[in-house]
Structure 1
């Protein structure tokens, strides 16, 4: 996908997401910094109506920290931007919505990530398992069925540049 097409599709995802009830009713949203050609959510981050959280990879777990535009970031061992360790942490009970980066998602809500299992472990833990989760992908990555493993956790919705699909 060209850089121009990627930007246009990412912007359309952000526009649709901003209009969704899942988004407008949230106060604290966990998101991600785009890696490789994942959809870019940076246009959303200027909205100071929300408290934004971003992950830090520590060992085999994701730890969530507050971040606001203008604050510096570091690059982790995977090459992904993340807040510094001194940024305020976000506890599960504060979170209203999790925007989950995905390589692909299927019609049952299962996602394919980069294989580290970070989100599967997070969403399997009792304090996180009932949080609203939305996979963020491009239409071309929305598939009828992905292979799954017993530890995979389905997402509650999937957003693409053309639609929101709520998983029953």
Structure 2
């Protein structure tokens, strides 16, 4: 596990630390992480389901090449603000589709589509600044994925943190609203906290 701020330090300090650490990661680690994703992720998606991917921001692992193994079966997260209340959902996307910033400024499908139900997703991949052995994720502080996965329907969708093994720590600060993930994907492969049944392909 990497050297980190102390257990009593606030999350903003942890975020600052891991932003710096992630910026120093060699390209070789990102390449190996993509190879692990290509080897392990497609077989986890049922024939009638989609992979919840993400649009990579600066320093995040870029897994968009998974589109080659899962053509027409991807979805991107999008934060929309109907009636002024922001909510994260997943919308259909494939390479070449137009994008526009969502309510958080992250590229999302354009024009805004109808959010997919949780049952349409076979797996969610969510980037992180850091994670711990409980599969607690350190994100950017918006709480969007925690609110989504507080819904039992979405909590039933397997979800993996995506980050380099160098971003793993023994224990992150835990807030009452944090929803642990089911495991993580790093350049060392996929590690589940509990066995997950593979879908019938």
TM-score (norm 1): 0.88
Structure 2 contact 52–123 (Cα < 8 Å) conserved: yes
Distance 2:115 2:102 in 1: 17
RMSD: 2.0
Choose the corresponding residue for 2:125, options 99, 111, 114.
99
Q: What's the CA shift string for 1:91-126, capped at 9, x where partnerless?
A: 111111010121111011100110000000001012
Structure with greater Cα Rg? 2
User: How is 1:20-39 mapped onto 2 (pairs within 5 angstroms)?
Assistant: 20=40, 23-26=42-45, 27-39=49-61
Choose the corresponding residue for 1:90, options 104, 116, 136.
116
Q: Give secondary structure in 1 for the equivalent of 2:191.
A: strand
Change (3 A) 1:120 1:61: same
Structure with larger RCO (C-alpha < 8 A, sep 6+): 2
Unaligned runs of 5+ in 2: 1-22, 195-201
Structure 2 contact 42–70 (Cα < 8 Å) conserved: no
Q: Give secondary structure in 1 for the equivalent of 2:181.
A: coil
How many residue pairs are counted as aligned between the two chains?
A: 165
Unaligned runs of 5+ in 1: none
The answer as to 2:84 corresponding to 1:46 is: no
Distance 1:55 1:72 in 2: 14
Distance 2:153 2:111 in 1: 21
User: How is 1:1-168 mapped onto 2 (pairs within 5 angstroms)?
Assistant: 1=23, 5-6=26-27, 8-20=28-40, 23-26=42-45, 27-49=49-71, 51-59=73-81, 60-87=86-113, 89-168=115-194
Distance 1:87 1:151 in 2: 28
Distance 1:2 1:125 in 2: 36
Deviation at 1:16, TM superposition (A): 1.0
